[in-house]
Each structure stands twice: as structure tokens, then as C-alpha cells.
Amino acid sequence: MDENKRFESGDISISAENMLPIIKKWLYSEKDIFIRELVSNCSDAISKHARLVSLSEAPADETPYRITVRCDASAGTLSFEDNGIGMTADEVRKYINQVAFSGAKDFLEKYKDSSEDAQIIGHFGLGFYSAFMAAKRVTIDTLSWQEGAEAVTWASEGGSSYTLDHSDRTTRGTCVTLELDDDSKEYTDRWAVRDVLMKYFRFLPTPIYLEDAGTELTTEEKPINDTPPLWEKNPSDCTDEEYREFYHRVFLDPADPLFWVHLNIDYPFRLKGILYFPKLKNEFESVEGQVKLYCSRVFVADNIKEVIPEYLLLLKGCIDCPDLPLNVSRSFLQNDGTVTRLSQHITRKVADRLLSLFKTDRDRYNECWDDINPFVKYACLRDEKFYERVKPALIFKLLDGTYKTVDEYLAVPEDANADGEHCDCGHDHDETCDCGHDHDENAAPRKIVYYATDENVQAQYIAMFRANGIEAVLLQHVLDNHFITFLETKNPGVKFRRIDSDLSELENTAETAVDAAAVEGLFAGHAGVKTVKTSHLAAGGAPAVLVLSEESRRMQEMARMFGGMDNIEAMFPEERTLVLNSAHPLYAKLASLSGTDPDRAKLLAEHIYDLARIAQQPLAAADMTAFLERSAKIMELV
């Protein structure tokens, strides 16, 4: 056939003229994904040729495989070239005109009136046509590997028409050239394209070369993706230094990860990857995009909650699963059995890693607990199976800096009844018997766990508990309010009390000859105090302490966390009790002054009340000013 004679021109059989505009509108949530699709096609073409060579169906070629992406700002073009399998004219007709557009037709019928914003291109086989998201004209120059094949060129301007003609190409492979539209000229900038290529293909096994028509290339050019992913190595062949170096390079985090989980399985699905436990701040930081999902080393997306459970997104890592299609809808992922098993397997491996570290290196596990406990607690709250699996590795940090497992700390003696007494009658706690003990489950808890949330703010309470040899745990994270409620439901008979909400174990039965009513009357009328009472506190007691209702405080904290509620204090008022310590010398002093010098007694009472407030939380500016002025007056009286 005369080389000047066109092979053919024609229309693609599709009923809607506006098919491509609809694809542009609904196909992708990110415009630069067209680069991912076209480079992925190049990689597939190379993989197919390598497979034919390995099967001796195609002649071996010493030319190394490569993908070349060229930017040309003067011509306004961006091209993608590979030296893979190539296509014949018949294959172009089949794979470009028929297969892809057949998928386009199905897509059009399903999504022309849809408002779904989802990545669905791979489900219809439309990857090549993503080029029209950025191009006003697309040209394909290709030469098949088959002996005697003729090179052809295909071109379309985005409608339903195309041309197919001879090509001057002399080397095996395919080059797709995009004449970029006016809204996509940024893709002629080498650095902009490089950023996209590094995002999606930094781990692609085929070398990618980036060329700029406006820059003179040298013989020292290197592929931009010269780093193989560490997850491809056998875990036993990886060193700790390699794991840390890979983490720093991928996530640009200068801090070392605490530890990691290397995933490497081939059945019932293929899965490789590495999940890192980073140091977490006390409050949740942004976790979007911390776990990266790949398909055959090609980046798919960050933060795919259908594949990675939401609580695992507190971690950082890379997961590569070739069994997942490159582009699928969220609804597909939610209903796919492979995805469900994949998610369950990842969760199980993370739990197993925690258990392994707990059992084999308890000291290291304890050191990491301050950083990993927000993740572990959040995961337990969100996933019952995860909780059951890691339950033996849940630990409490005590105020003295030591650690105990939650199971051993919450253990309730089997013979302890609801009042804290001991009974060996053998009856359950909800049964009735004549042993004389109370078995009512709604009675007082059989075990109280005291905890502190802030060692500085609650320092006075902590000192009192320590002086009396009473143990307490440290729960400092915003999640702990929910976590202790969760543990109470899992451990009937156990109740958590913050150390400023229950002083019953600090009280003794010593009596005083002082008139308690007269002393308590000096403190009447303070805003926010529901009750004033006198107790004989044990060693280390302050002259007065404030006690908050555990239940009302928890309700306030939960309401603040979820937000959207006005007048939280009015809905869940704090029930505060002022406990006067009759064991403290100032108590007797107040009693004496109340009869001889009421004004001085009132001044001293005000000061004691403010000391109790300061021991619980900082004073407001006006209250602090009054406290300082009163301190000066008291010093004048000394």
C-alpha cells in the first residue's frame, strides 16, 4: 500500500456524541491520574513483551526496557513512550476503537445521570481515554513486536471520529502524544510532571526517564524511580537500619518509627507491605494519607478505608496488593470478598505484632506504650475482634512509673461481694441467699480503679494517695474517657474513679471535738460547690480538697469532644463537694477563730477554699488577683 495513502478514517460506534465530556466529568477525582493511566499502560506493554520472551514466543532483545515521558512546552505536548509489545493496525482497531469504547458505552449508560464521585475507570477498561482529560488531540504511534508488522498511527480529537494511517516509527513499542488543551499547559513543566511520576511510580520496576525538550540532555541521565521498595525483600533479609531508612525516605519523617510490621503473603491473595508505628502526639494529629495503597507497585491512593480499617490509618506504611484493580468504585471495594479478607488479615497481623513484642520484649513494649496506646485504644474501641486479640497486651502505666497488664490490674477476687467484703457462700452476685452479704450487682463496685489524668494539675491528690499507699494509674489521652467506659462494660464490678472524685479510701474513723457545723458554715455559699462536709483524711491531707462527681465530669468531657452542643455546663452541671480535713491543724484554727474573730476566720476560709481550687485547676485571672491580694493580707496578720 502506498505510504501516502491513508489506511482509514471513520467513526467509533457509540450512540452519544458527548461521551468524552461525561468521562471527563465523572471519571476521576484527580486530574493528574491520566498520567498514572498512560504510564501504567506503558508498563503493561513492557511486561507483556517480557512474558513472551520468557516463553520463547518473541525473540530476545538486549535493549533494556524503559519508559520515557517527554515534556515540550514550545509544542504544548506531553508524550509517553515504551519499548514494549506494540500494536498492529488490527490490534489498534480492537483495543482502542472497540474494547475501550465498548466499555465507554457501558459507562455512559450507567453514569450519564449519576452524581457518584468515584474512581471507576478500570472497571470499564477506559484507562487510555483518560488522556482526553488533558488533551485536545491524542496520537498513537506504534510498532508491534511481530515480524513483518507495519507501524501505524492513530489519532483522535476527542469526538467519536478517528484516523488510522502509516507511521514512520522504526522501533518496537508505542508512543502516545497528547496535544494539551489550554487548561492543562502545566503538564509541559518538567517539575510538575516529575512530582506526579514520583507520587505514582517511585517503586515501578521499569525505569522511567523524564525528558524536557527545552533542556539539553546528557549521557548521565538517570531514571527517576531508582529505588526498589523494601517490601519486595524477604523480611528475614531486611535490617532494622533498612526499615528506618525506607521510612524516612517515603514519609519524610525525621523521627525514627517505634517498630513495624512486614506483610508478605501469597495466599489466599497476594499482599506485601510494611506498616510502621510512629510516635503519636497526645492529641490526634491529621492521619489522612498515612497508609499508601499500591497495585503492582503503582500508587493507587491514600486513606482507602474500604481496604485499610480507619483505626489503622493512625499508622504509616505502604501496602501493595496486585489482586486489587487499579481503579474501582468505593461500592465495589465495600462489597468485594477479597478486600474484606485483606482488611481482616492486615488487622490480624498488626495485633499479632503487638502481642509478639509484648511477649518477647516487655521492656521495649513498655517504653513504646506512651506512644502507641492511643492507636491501641482507638482500635479496641472500633473493632471488637481486635480488642479480643490484643487484650493480653493491654497495659496500664502506674503513677510510680511501673506497668501492669489491664487483666491483672482489673482482676476482682472471685469471693469479693458487692460491698467489698468476702463471702464463700458460693452464690452468684445476683442471687439471694441467707449468708448475710449483699449480692446486688447494682450495689457498690467490687473494685475501684483510681486514675490520674494530669500529674501536674492533680499533684496534691497524687501526693495524698501516695502517702497512704494507694495505687493509681495514669490515663492522659483524650480517648481514655471512652476507653475506661469501654473497660467497665467488659469488666462488671469494676469502676474507674479519678483521684479527685473519690477520697473514701483516704478517710478514717477518727473523731474530733470541734463543732463541724460551725466550720462548715464558713464555706457556705460558694458558687459551684454542691456540698460541704468534714472528713478525717489520712496522712498527707490538705486542709480542704474539692471532689468532683465522676459521672457528671465524664458527661461534660464527652459532650465537649463530640461538640455541637451549647450550654454543656447547664446540661451536665459539675457536682462538686468541698471536703474539709479535720485532721489538718488549720481545721482546729478555723473552729477557734469562728468564735473569737469571725472576720479573720472568714478570710482564712476563703483562702483555704482557693487553695483547694488551685489544687484542681488554674484560677481565672480575676480569681487569681483576689487570691494574691488576700495572700498579702494574711501575711500582714502573721
pLDDT of residue 284: 52
Measure the CA–CA gap between 224 and 71, rounded to whole angstroms.
15
Q: Are 386 and 394 in contact (CB under 8 A)?
A: no
pLDDT digits (tens, 9 = 90+) for 603-623: 999 999 999 888 888 888 998
Q: Encode pLDDT of 563-579 as tens digits.
A: 655 555 556 667 788 98
Q: What is the DSSP string of 396-452?
A: EEETTS-EEEHHHHH---TTB-TTS-B--S---TTS--SSSS---TTSS-SEEEEEE
Tens digit of pLDDT for each residue in 223-250?
A: 998 778 999 999 999 999 999 999 999 9
pTM: 0.76
Domains of the chain are 8-212 (3.30.565.10), 230-385 (3.30.230.80), 394-499 (no CATH), 510-547+572-638 (1.20.120.790)
What three-state secondary structure class fits 136?
Answer: strand
498: confidence class by pLDDT, cuts 50, 70, 90: very high
pLDDT of 236-294, one tens digit each? 999 999 999 999 999 988 889 999 999 998 877 888 999 999 876 555 554 444 888 88
Burial class (CB in 10 A: 0-12, 13-18, 19+), 489: exposed
CA angle 589, 591, 594 (to 5 degrees): 105
